[in-house]
Structure 1
Amino acid sequence: MMKNIFKLFILGTGIASLTACSDFLDQTSPSEMTDETVFNSAAYTENALNKVYAGLTLDHTYGARIPLNFSTNSDIELVDGLDNTGSGNSVAVNERGAGNFNPSSSWTKLDDNWSECYEIIENANIVVEGIENSSLIAEGNSSRTKMLRYKGEALALRAMIYFDLIRNYGDVPMKFETTKSDGSNIYLPKTDRDAIMEHLITDLEEAIDYLPWAGESSYTTERITKGFAHGLLARIAMSYAGYSIRESSKAGEGYETLANSDATYPTQRPGAAKRTELYTKALTHLDAIIASGTHQLNPSIENEWYLINQQSLDQTYRENIFEVAHGLNYSGEMGYTVGVRLSGVTTTYGYGNSSGKIKLTAPFLWSFDKDDLRRDLTCATYEIKPGSSNEPVETMQSNSPFAIYVAKWDPRKMSDSWRTASKAATTKFGYGINWIVLRYADVLLMYAEALNELQGADVVGPTCGLTAREALLKVRSRSFDSSKQAAVTAYVNAISSGSDFFNALVDERAWELAGEAVRKYDLIRWGLLDSKITESKEQYMELITKAPASLYYKMKSSDANAIDMSSICWYEAPANVADYKSVTGWGGEDPTNGKNVAYLPYISWGLNRVVKNRHLLPLGATTISDSKGSLKNSYGFE
C-alpha cells in the first residue's frame, strides 16, 4: 500500500528533495555539503535523485498540466471550448483554449509548465554529471551498481520530460549539461526535435543496461525500471517515425508531407527507410518487455482500475509499468479534473467538488461492442449529486453527448483514506491517485502496430513468441466475459493483415486507453488528428438519426440511489416503459438547428483556423521575454 508521505530535504548545494509515496524516498541529509560530498555517498545521491522525482508531482508537470490539460482534444476526448457567454468562442487563456487548439501565449500556466520541466531537466543533469564524476562508479566499488542505477533513473526521467516537451511544444532548447557558472548555456535557441529524440534514444539504451526490472532490488512501479525505459524508448521511436507539424519544411531531407498540410508550417514525417529503422528499434524494445514476463495484463480490467483508485500498487501483475507517485492531500488531479463528477456535498463523499472537465463523446460510447466491459468502465453518462438528505444519488445526464465523464477514476472505488480526506475538505485538495504513464496493455498494442508495420499481423516477433494478432487478442479478450471469447477471437482473426489491421488497432487503442493522455498523440503521429475529429462530428450527425429520443434505465433493486448500468436501453426503447426512468436521449435532434449540432463547429475549432493542423502549444509570453531573444513563437502564434 502506498504511504503517500511527502517530505522536504534541503542540501546546502541547492539540492532539495520533495519525496513521494514510497519507503525508498524516506531520506535524511545534513544541512550543508558540497556536490563532491553528495555524489560520493550513495545515500545522498539518492536524495538528489529524489528531487528529480519530486518535480513530477507538481500541478504544472504531472499533477495536472501534462496528463490532463495538454492531452486533449482528440476524436474521443474533449474539453468544453465555449466561453462564459456561451457564444461559441474558445477561451484562449485557460485549458479550454489549449484543448481546442486555440491557446494564447499569455496563458501563464504555459510558462509555469516550461520552467518546471526545465528545472527537472537541470536536476537530472546534476545527478547524471555528479555520478559520472563520482569515485563510487569505479570498477570494483561496492556502490557502483547502485550509483549506475541512479544514473539510469535520471537519464530516463530526463528523457520522459524532454519527450513531453517535444510532443507539446515541438522544437525546444536542448540542454544535456548542468548550467555553467559563466551563463554561456542559459539562453539557448531551439533544437530540431529529431536531434533531441536521437539523443534520448541513446540515453535510454544506456539507462536500460543499468536499471533493474520492477520487483528487483526493491524497485516498484513508482520508480523508473528497465521495463519503463524499454517502453519509453519505443514510444519515442514511434513518435519520431510519425507526423508532426514543422517550423519549416524538411522535404529536402527526404521527409514526407501529409496531404493538405499548411504551406508555411507543413506536417511531415521521416522517409520510409528511417521509419523502418525506428519501428524496428521500437519492436526490439517492446519485445524485450513482453519476453521478460515481468509485466502482465491484470486478468480483470475492472480490478485494474479499482486498484488505481484505491492507491494500491499491483505487485502481482505489474500492468502499470510506471506511475508518477502522488500524495493524498498534496498532489494529483486524477479523479478531480478527470473522472466521475461529484456535483455537490454528500454524506458519503464530503466536499464533492470535482470538475470532471475532461469529457468523452457519444459517438465514442456508441462505438463499443455492446458486450465490451470497457464501455461502462470508461464512459459515465451520469454524475453524483446530493439527495434530499445529502446522500449521494447517481443522476443520469440528459442529452449531453459531448459531456460524458471518464469513469475510470471513480469516487465510489476510492480508498477510505481518500474518503476521510474528502469529508474533511472545504476546498480543492490533492486526490493522491497516481498518474499511470505506461500500461502493459499499451505495450502490447504498440508491439502489434510495429510488427504489423514491418512484417504483417501473423509473423512471430523477435523473441517473445507473439504475433501482432495474438498481442491484439490478449488486450481485447481481457475486456469481454468468458462466454463471449469465441466472438472476440473470430473478430480478431477476421482482420486482414496490413492497413485493415492498422485500422483495427486505431480503434482498439481508443477503447483501451481513452482518457489516459494517449489518443491525441497517437492521432498526431498517424497524421489522423484532423480527419478523425471531423469524422467524429460526422458520426454525431449520423447518431442523432439512429439513437433513441429517450434513454430508459432503472435504479438498482438493492440501492434506489444507484443506476443499474445493465438496464440502460442504449439502442431502443423497452417494450414496456412503466418500470423505467428516462431522460432525453441523443436521438431526434434537429439536424439543422439542434443545440448540439450548433456546437459542433466549436469543438477543436482552432486546429485549422490560423495554421493547418496546429496541434502544438505556443511558448509562454514570459518564457519568450526571459530568453533574451533566443526564443520566439512559430505556427502563427504571437
Structure 2
Amino acid sequence: MKNIYKTWALAGLAFATTLTSCSDFLDQTSPSEMFPETVYNAEGYTQQALNKVYAGLVLDHTYGCRIPLNFSTNSDIELVDALTQETTTADSERGLCSYNAPNWNRLANNWSEMFEIIENANLVIEGIRGSEIRENENMRYYLGEALTLRAMVYFDLIKHYGDVPMKMESTKSDGSNLYLEKTDRDVIMDSLLVDLQEAAELLPWVGEAGYTSEHCTKGFAYGLAARIALAEAGYAIRETPKEGYVNLSEKREGQLGYSDPTYPTMRPGDEKRRELYELALNCLDAIITSGRHQLNPSYEDEWYRINQLTLDQTYYENIFEVAHGLNYSGEMGYTAGVRINTAGSPFGFSNSSGKVKLTAPFFMSFDPEDVRRDITCAPYELRDVTATQTFTNAPFGIYVAKWDVRKMTEEWRAQNAAVSTKTGYGINWVVMRYSDVLLMYAEVVNELYGPNGSGTCGKSAMEALAEVRSRAFNGNAEKVSQYVAQAAGSKESFFDAIVDERAWELAGEAVRKYDLIRWGLLIDKTVEMLDSYKHAIENDEYVADLYYKESAGADPWYLVDYSSVCWYEEPESTNDYKSVSFWGNVKKDGVIPDDNSTYDALNYISSGLISYDKYAGFQGAAGPVINRHVWPIHTTTINDSNGHLKNSYGFN
C-alpha cells in the first residue's frame, strides 16, 4: 500500500514484481519482448507477467474508482451526490448512478481496460498451461491467481453490462477471435465457477508461502465463487426470456419491482438454483472450516488499520484487497469518506468525498448501541482552516466514515499538505471481508435448511449471524441472542434479518446494490427508503435541532462529544448544549414548503429506476425498461466492434 507502482501506475505498461509486500512492485524488469516459451519457463518472468494483470486493477477506470465508487450506487442506503433534475440526468457518473444512463465516455474506458486485464490474464493462463515447469509450486500459485483475477473482472463486467463477449483465450495472430458476439451471462458465470474451483485447489491460504491479502488466495477463490453462485442463482435483467426461469413478478405478492415483458428480470428455476446454493455452501464451508480468516474483535480497529495502510496479518479479516500506493493510486478516502471542506492545516488539500453518500433512514435504522453506526456514518464534515468537526443538515448526504482522514498516517498527511490537486490516497480497496463470508453462509444455509440448519463446518445459520452481530454490540450476548432468536422464527424472517445485517455491516463497500439486484429488491428497498424519509418528515420523527456537547480540551477535529449527541429527541434541559439545524427542520408553520430543495429530492433520487412523487409517493417503475440496473455499451465500443456488438435493455 505504500511506495507502490511508481512507474506503471502512471502508464500501465511495465511489469512489476510482488509477493510479500506491495512495495516490491517497484521492480521494473520487463519480459515483454521475450518469447512466451522463455517467459513461462522461468518463475521470475512468469511472476512479472502475472503482476501486469494486477497492475490493471489500480487504474481509475477499473478498481481505482469506477468499480468500487462510481458503479456501486444507487441503492437504498447509498446515493451519489445528485438530488436535482439537472444532476440526475447529467452525462456523468451522477446520471449513471441515478439509472438515467448516459453515453458517458468513461464507460468506454472501463470496458476496454477491463478487457485488457482479461487479455493479460489469458496470456498468463495459457503460458503456464504450456510451460515445462507448470507443476512447480509457484507456477501453480500463479495459475490460480490469474484464474481468480480473470473471474473477478469478468464477474464485474457482467454485473454492470449484462451479457458480454466471452473471451477465454488470448487474441490470435490472425485476429480470428478479435471480434466476438455477446454470450449469455449465466454461461460465462458457469465457466468462471469451474475456473475458481480449479484455482482454489492451486492456491495457498493467506499467510502461507508469503501470500498476503493483496494477492488472490484460496480463501478469495472460494469466496468469489460463492458470490458468483449467489448472483447467478438470483435475479438479473435478461436480453430475452429464458425457458425454465422465473420472472420477478412471480416471486411474491405485493412486490413493487417486477419483470419487463421485453427484457425480463428472471432467476433460474428451483433445481438450478439449489445446485448453485449448494456450490456456494461448499465454498463457504471451506473458508470457515479452515479457520484461517476470522473477525477482528474490534470493528473500529479493522477500519483504523485500513486507513493506516496496514495489512491485518493477525485475523486476516480482509480476504482480498486491491493494493494501492500512497501518492500514486486509490480514491478511498478521497471520493468516499469523511469530508475535508477546506484546503489547509492540519490535513492539507481538501478531498471530494462526494460520490458515495449514506441516508438518514439508514442512519436511523441502526440500534443505538450498534458500534458500526458511528464508524460507518458521518453526518458531519471537517470545516475551516482548523478542521473543526461540524454537523451537516444533509439527510441524503451523510459521508461514509469508514475512510477518515483523521485516522490516516503522518506520511499521508505530509503528502496531502504538499499537493494542490487530487493525489493517490494509497488506501487499499477491500474486495471481500470475512464478515461477508459469514453472512453469505447464513443466507445460504437458511435457504437450504432454515435458520437452525448448518453446513459441514458445523456452524448454524443463526450462529453465523450472531457472530457478526456480536462484534457490533461488543459481545452483548443477551442482546444478540434475543435478536437472532426472534429473527429465526421462520426462513422468511431470517432472510429479512440477513438483508438488514448486510446493510449495517457492509455499507459503502460496493456490495449493497448487487445484493438488492439478485434478491429482486432494488426497487422495493429504494421505495422503502424514500417512504421512510417521507413519513419521518410528515410525522416529525427527526429532530429539527440537533443538540450536542463539545469535548473539553479535545482537538478541534474531534470536537464533538459523540456520547452526548441527542439523535432521537431534544434533551429535557439544553444547558451546556450546543445545537445545529438538522434533518427534521423542513416544515414552516407545520407545512412542508413546496420549495424545500431537500424534500424536493424525493422526486429525483434514482429517477431512471422509479417514479416517485414527494407528496403522493411511489408512482411505478420509470424509464423505457423496468428494472434496468445495467449500463449501456458506449458508442465508441460498439463502433469498434466491427458490427458484433449492439446495445440491449432498451438502450439506443
TM-score over 0.5 for the pair: yes
Indicate conservation of the 8 Å contact 1:89/1:602, yes or no.
no
How far apart in 1 are the matches of 2:24 and 2:490?
46
Secondary structure of the 2:628 match is: coil
Partner of 1:137: 134
How far apart in 2 are the matches of 1:393 and 1:19?
42
Partner of 1:175: 167
Alignment of structure 1 residues 491-570 onto 2, 5 Å: 491-495=483-487, 496-544=489-537, 545=539, 546-559=541-554, 561=556, 562-570=559-567
Which one of 613, 617, 640 corresponds to residue 626 of structure 1? 640
Alignment of 1:636 onto 2:650: yes
Which one of 454, 470, 474 corresponds to residue 467 of structure 2? 474
1:267-302 Cα shifts (integer Å, max 9, x gaps): 000001111000010011001000000000000000
1:74-105 Cα shifts (integer Å, max 9, x gaps): 000001224xxx54552332110111111212
Alignment of structure 1 residues 394-433 onto 2, 5 Å: 394-398=389-393, 400-433=394-427
1:533-578 Cα shifts (integer Å, max 9, x gaps): 0010000012222111111112211226211111110111011113
Partner of 2:579: 582
- Name whichever of 567-576 and 114-123 sits farther off: 567-576
Q: For the structure 1 residues 145 and 65, does the alpha-carbon distance in structure 2 shift closer, same or farther, using more than 3 Å as the test?
A: same
Alignment of structure 1 residues 93-242 onto 2, 5 Å: 93-105=91-103, 107-137=104-134, 144-242=136-234
1:589-634 Cα shifts (integer Å, max 9, x gaps): 3446343221102000001222111100111111011111111111
How far apart in 2 are the matches of 1:300 and 1:423?
30
How far apart in 2 are the matches of 1:289 and 1:334?
27
Report deviation, 1:148: 1.2
Indicate conservation of the 8 Å contact 2:4/2:328, yes or no.
no
Alignment of structure 1 residues 611-622 onto 2, 5 Å: 611-622=625-636
1:382-428 Cα shifts (integer Å, max 9, x gaps): 00012xxx211011112x10000000000000111111111111100
Partner of 2:618: none
Q: For the structure 1 residues 382 and 184, does the alpha-carbon distance in structure 2 shift closer, same or farther, using more than 3 Å as the test?
A: same
Which one of 595, 604, 607 corresponds to residue 602 of structure 1? 604
Which one of 340, 343, 347 corresponds to residue 349 of structure 1? 347
Partner of 2:619: none
Partner of 1:312: 310
Secondary structure of the 1:56 match is: helix
How far apart in 2 are the matches of 1:300 and 1:379?
17
Partner of 1:384: 382
- Name whichever of 589-598 and 620-629 sits farther off: 589-598
Report deviation, 1:368: 0.2
1:53-75 Cα shifts (integer Å, max 9, x gaps): 00000000010000100000000
How far apart in 1 are the matches of 2:585 and 2:520?
34
Indicate conservation of the 8 Å contact 2:265/2:627, yes or no.
yes
Structure 2 letter corresponding to 1:410:
D
Partner of 1:362: 360
- Name whichever of 21-30 and 361-370 sits farther off: 21-30
How far apart in 2 are the matches of 1:595 and 1:26?
50
Indicate conservation of the 8 Å contact 1:42/1:146, yes or no.
yes
How far apart in 2 are the matches of 1:89 and 1:205?
44
How far apart in 1 are the matches of 2:13 and 2:414?
34
How far apart in 2 are the matches of 1:434 and 1:164?
18
Indicate conservation of the 8 Å contact 2:30/2:48, yes or no.
no
Indicate conservation of the 8 Å contact 1:302/1:377, yes or no.
yes
- Name whichever of 317-326 and 560-569 sits farther off: 560-569
Secondary structure of the 1:258 match is: helix
How far apart in 1 are the matches of 2:490 and 2:314?
34
How far apart in 2 are the matches of 1:504 and 1:456?
13
Partner of 2:29: 29
Indicate conservation of the 8 Å contact 1:258/1:266, yes or no.
no
How far apart in 2 are the matches of 1:493 and 1:6?
49
Where does structure 1 lack aligned partners over 5 or more consecutive residues? 139-143
RMSD: 1.7
Partner of 1:325: 323
How far apart in 1 are the matches of 2:362 and 2:74?
13
Give the alignment's TM-score, normalised by structure 2: 0.92
How far apart in 2 are the matches of 1:552 and 1:93?
40
1:403-461 Cα shifts (integer Å, max 9, x gaps): 00000000000111111111111100010000000000000000000000000111221
Report deviation, 1:24: 5.3
How far apart in 2 are the matches of 1:333 and 1:223?
20
How far apart in 2 are the matches of 1:88 and 1:583?
29
Alignment of 1:572 onto 2:596: no
Which one of 427, 431, 443 corresponds to residue 437 of structure 1? 431
- Name whichever of 39-48 and 89-98 sits farther off: 89-98
1:478-525 Cα shifts (integer Å, max 9, x gaps): 01134x331122111222130000000000000000000000000000
Report deviation, 1:230: 0.2
Secondary structure of the 2:15 match is: strand
Q: For the structure 1 residues 51 and 150, does the alpha-carbon distance in structure 2 shift closer, same or farther, using more than 3 Å as the test?
A: same
Structure 2 letter corresponding to 1:45:
T
Structure 1 letter corresponding to 2:185:
R
Partner of 2:254: none
How far apart in 2 are the matches of 1:525 and 1:122?
28
How far apart in 2 are the matches of 1:452 and 1:30?
50
Partner of 2:617: none
Q: For the structure 1 residues 375 and 363, does the alpha-carbon distance in structure 2 shift closer, same or farther, using more than 3 Å as the test?
A: same
Partner of 1:141: none
Report deviation, 1:30: 5.9
Structure 1 letter corresponding to 2:389:
E
Indicate conservation of the 8 Å contact 2:335/2:351, yes or no.
no
Give the alignment's TM-score, normalised by structure 1: 0.94
How far apart in 2 are the matches of 1:167 and 1:177?
21
Partner of 1:16: 14
Indicate conservation of the 8 Å contact 1:340/1:407, yes or no.
yes
How far apart in 2 are the matches of 1:77 and 1:166?
21
| Identical positions, percent | 58
Secondary structure of the 1:6 match is: coil
Alignment of structure 1 residues 208-287 onto 2, 5 Å: 208-250=200-242, 252-258=243-249, 260-287=258-285
Structure 1 letter corresponding to 2:157:
L
How far apart in 2 are the matches of 1:634 and 1:254?
19
Alignment of 1:297 onto 2:290: no
Structure 1 letter corresponding to 2:573:
N
How far apart in 2 are the matches of 1:501 and 1:18?
47
Indicate conservation of the 8 Å contact 1:340/1:356, yes or no.
no
Q: For the structure 1 residues 109 and 410, does the alpha-carbon distance in structure 2 shift closer, same or farther, using more than 3 Å as the test?
A: same
Indicate conservation of the 8 Å contact 2:435/2:468, yes or no.
yes
Secondary structure of the 2:182 match is: coil
Secondary structure of the 2:181 match is: coil
Q: For the structure 1 residues 7 and 431, does the alpha-carbon distance in structure 2 shift closer, same or farther, using more than 3 Å as the test?
A: closer
Q: For the structure 1 residues 347 and 291, does the alpha-carbon distance in structure 2 shift closer, same or farther, using more than 3 Å as the test?
A: same
